[in-house]
Amino acid sequence: MTEIRSILILEDHAETRAALVALVEDCFPGARIAEAGTIHAARTSLRAAPVDLALVDLTLPDGEGYEILRQCARDTPETVCVVTTVMATDAAVVNALAAGASGYLLKTDGTALWKLHLGQIVRGVPVLSPAIARRIMQHFQRTAPAFETDERLTPRETEVLSLIARGMRIPEVARLIGVADSTVATHIKNMYRKLGISNRAEAATHAARLGLL
Q: Do both 168 and 122 map to the same domain? A: no
Instruction: For the chain, give the longest Cα–Cα distance.
Output: 52
Range of 1-10, 35-44, 170-179 with top mean pLDDT: 35-44
Residues with Cβ within 8 Å of residue 18, at least 6 apart in sequence? none
Segment 35-45 shows an average pLDDT of 97
Per-residue pLDDT at 72 exceeds 50: yes
How much is the pLDDT for 80? 94
113 and 21 co-located in one domain: yes
Residue that is last in its domain, among 140, 171, 187: 140
Evaluate whether residue 1 is within a structural domain.
no
Residue 90 lies in a domain: yes
Domain closes at, from 140, 156, 173: 140
Claim to verify: residue 125 and residue 194 sit in the same structural domain: no
Residue range(s) defining the domain that contains residue 30: 6-140
Q: Are residues 32 and 119 in the same domain?
A: yes
Residues 124 and 154 both lie in one domain: no
Residue 178: φ, ψ to 5°:
75, 40
Task: Please state the pTM of the whole predicted model.
Answer: 0.66
Domain edge (last residue) among 89, 119, 140: 140
Rounded average pLDDT over 192-200: 83
Shared-domain flag, residues 100 and 197? no
Give the whole-angstrom CA distance, residue 213 versus residue 207.
6
Q: What are phi and psi of 140, to 5 degrees?
A: -70, -30
What is the pLDDT confidence band of residue 137, given thresholds at 50, 70 and 90? confident
Both 152 and 58 in one domain: the answer is no
155 close to 35: Cβ distance less than 8 angstroms: no
pLDDT above 60: residue 146: no
Average pLDDT (202-213) is: 75
CA 53 distance to own-chain centroid: 10
Same domain, 106 and 191: no
Task: Tell me: do 129 and 168 sit in the same domain.
Answer: no
**Tens digits of residue pLDDT in 93-132:** 888 988 999 899 999 998 999 999 898 888 878 788 888 8
Contacts of 172 (CB under 8 A, 6+ apart): 163
Helix (H) or strand (E) holding 178: none
Q: How far apart are CA 212 and CA 19, in angstroms?
A: 36
Q: Are residues 183 and 198 in the same domain?
A: yes
Same domain, 158 and 83: no
pLDDT of residue 150 exceeding 60: no
Measured CA to CA, the distance from residue 65 to residue 59 in angstroms comes to 6
CA distances from 83 to 32, 100, 158, 181, 208 (A): 19, 10, 28, 30, 21
**Which whole number is the average pLDDT over 71-97?**
90
CATH number at residue 179: 1.10.10.10
Band (144; pLDDT cuts 50, 70, 90): low
Residue 73 lies in a domain: yes
Nearest 10 degrees: Cα torsion 152, 155, 157, 161: 100
**pLDDT tops 50 at residue 5:** yes
Count of domains for the chain: 2
Examine the domain organization and report whether 117 and 89 are in the same domain: yes
Residue 120 in domain? yes
Contacts of 37 (CB under 8 A, 6+ apart): 10, 11, 12, 14, 17, 60, 61
CATH number of the domain encompassing residue 67: 3.40.50.2300
